[in-house]
C-alpha cells in the first residue's frame, strides 16, 4: 500500500492537491491511503519549506507546487 502524504496547513492549494492525488491514485488502480500532514513542525521534518508538498512513503516528490492529476500519476507510476 502506498502512503500518499499531503504536506500543508490546509490551504486551498493543499486541499486541491489532496483531490488530485486521490484521483490520480484511483485512475492508476493503486492501493493507497492519504495522510494529511498539517503541523508546521512535522512538515519541516520532511525538509519542506514551501507548501503544498507531496510525499509518498515518506519521500518528498514535490513541494511548493500544485500538481495536476497527470503530473501526480507520473510520480506514482
Rounded to an integer, what distance in angstroms lies between the CA atom of residue 25 and that of residue 69?
9
Q: What is the 3-state secondary structure (H, E, C) of 26-58?
A: HHHCCCEEEEEECCHHHHHHCCCCCCCEEEECC
Domains of the chain with bracketed CATH: 2-76 (3.40.30.10)
Spot the catalytic one: 11, 39, 44, 49. 11
**pLDDT digits 0-9 by tens, 12-69:** 999 999 999 999 999 999 999 999 999 999 999 999 999 999 999 999 999 999 999 9
Spot the catalytic one: 14, 21, 24, 43. 14
Catalytic site residue 67?
no
Pairing of strands 32-37, 2-7: parallel
**pLDDT digits 0-9 by tens, 24-34:** 999 999 999 99
Catalytic site residue 18?
no
CB atoms < 10 A from the CB of 46, how many? 16
Amino acid at each position: 500500500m502506498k502512503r500518499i502524504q499531503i504536506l500543508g496547513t490546509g490551504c486551498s492549494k493543499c486541499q486541491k492537491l489532496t483531490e488530485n492525488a486521490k484521483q490520480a491514485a484511483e485512475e492508476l488502480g493503486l492501493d493507497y491511503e492519504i495522510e494529511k500532514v498539517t503541523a508546521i513542525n512535522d512538515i519541516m521534518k520532511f525538509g519542506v519549506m514551501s507548501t503544498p508538498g507531496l510525499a509518498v512513503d515518506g519521500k518528498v516528490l514535490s513541494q511548493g507546487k500544485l500538481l495536476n492529476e497527470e503530473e501526480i500519476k507520473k510520480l506514482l507510476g
